[in-house]
Every structure is written in C-alpha cells, then in structure tokens.
Amino acid sequence: MANRPTRLVLGSASPRRKTLLAKAGLDFLVLPADVDESFDPALAAEVAAVMLAERKANAASLLAALDLPDESPWVIGSDTLVVLGDDPTSKAPGRLPTYLGKPLDEREALSMLARLSGTTHRVVTGVAVVRRGESPENTTVVSSAEVTHVTMREITEPEQRAYVDSGEWRGKAGGYAIQESADQFVDQLDGGGFDNVVGLPVALTLKLLQKAGWTA
C-alpha cells in the first residue's frame, strides 16, 4: 500500500470547506457522499459532530475506492453543529441544548436568528480523516472536534428581517454565515478560530492528516 499513489479527498460539497482547504495550499479532489445526518440530540455536541464527520468520511472513502481503485487516498469528512443552551458560559444557563440546523425556509431562518440574538452559543465542527486499507483492520480513522464560543450582540428585528431577506442563511447551520455579512452581529469569538465557524478548522484538519500518515 505504501507504493500506491495517494491524494487527498474532501468528502463534502460545501464550497466554504473547499475554499478553506484551497487557501491552505492543498491539492485535493472533491467527492461528497450523501449520508444520514440524524443523531441522538442527547449526545454531547463534540461527540455528535465527530460521529457525523466519521460517517461522511467513511461514506466518501467507499466512493473513492470505486472511483480511484488504484489509489489509497486520505479522505476528509466534516460536520458543523450550532448549539445553544448547553454551555456553562452561555447567557442562558440551565436551558436544554438546542441544535440549530439548516433552516428550511425564511420563517425558520428568522426564528433561529432571533434565538441567537444576544446570546453566546457554540459552533462545534467535527473532522475525521479516513484512509481505507486493504482490509478493515488496516483502515486508518482519526478524528476530533473544535469548539468556538460565538457571542452575538442584540440583533434588532429590522436587522433580522434584512438579513433573512438577503438569503445568506440558505444552507448554513444556525441560519447565518459569519464569512459574509453576519459578522456584523458577532461581538466575540473564544476558543476555536474563525475558520471553525465557517465550517472547517484548518489547523486541526492538518494535524489529523499528519496523524493519519499524510505528508505534504
């Protein structure tokens, strides 16, 4: 296996993750896989994010085995969760954790933005790297999660409506995109970095790749 050609595969259709990896100077193939993204909401956010990232990476590695039969690529899977109410530094202590996924419509996007207004929530991104071996016993799986505490100022109702009307919320966990105009609502980031909130902590991803045996 050591003599087989290798490359990186991003198992995600997210243009944001693609951009972050490209800016890091990595050469990779995009090969997303559709997976079931449901999980037990009683799980800790870090556990759920890593589980979903591994699920995506494993699914994409199966596709890679079909598309690249003579290679053994390192496959990156990632999943980002926005969670409100289960963090001790939250401004709403004692609330049960609430996972905010991708809004289905404008009404849900507006509701999410209103719930996040004036709070500190967590953005948790799980990252997994899978390199499939010639047998399951020889398959490498490494994974971890990064957490960013995002403090938002109070967002007025007209601001909420204007943001939802912009359409930036579409396809975004939590209904906002910090890399676009939603950064105007953010007062502070603690813990993980800006790229984690965008959808892929690059330093963590590189660390996991190296742990899995990849070299630049």
**Total H helices, total E strands in the chain:** 6, 7
Residue 166's pLDDT band (cuts 50, 70, 90): very high
Q: CA neighbours within 13 Å on the CB side: how many for 94?
A: 0
Residue 44's pLDDT band (cuts 50, 70, 90): confident
Query: Which CATH number covers residue 188?
Result: 3.90.950.10
State which residues form the domain around 122: 8-211
Assess whether 79 carries a catalytic annotation.
yes
Q: Indicate whether 161 belongs to any domain.
A: yes
Q: Indicate whether 176 belongs to any domain.
A: yes
Residue 86's pLDDT band (cuts 50, 70, 90): low
Q: Indicate whether 121 belongs to any domain.
A: yes
Terminal-to-terminal C-alpha distance of the chain:
18
Give the mean pLDDT of 194-207. Answer: 96
Does this model's pTM top 0.95? no
pLDDT at position 179 is 92
C-alpha to C-alpha distance for 169 and 197, rounded to whole angstroms: 14
Q: Indicate whether 138 belongs to any domain.
A: yes
**Average pLDDT value for the chain:** 89
Looking at the structure of the chain, the number of domains it has is 1
Q: Indicate whether 20 belongs to any domain.
A: yes
Q: Indicate whether 216 belongs to any domain.
A: no
Q: Indicate whether 113 belongs to any domain.
A: yes
Query: Choosing from 27, 79, 187, 190, which is the catalytic residue?
Result: 79
Q: Indicate whether 77 belongs to any domain.
A: yes
Give the mean pLDDT of 15-36. Answer: 93
Residue 54's pLDDT band (cuts 50, 70, 90): very high
Residue 207's pLDDT band (cuts 50, 70, 90): very high
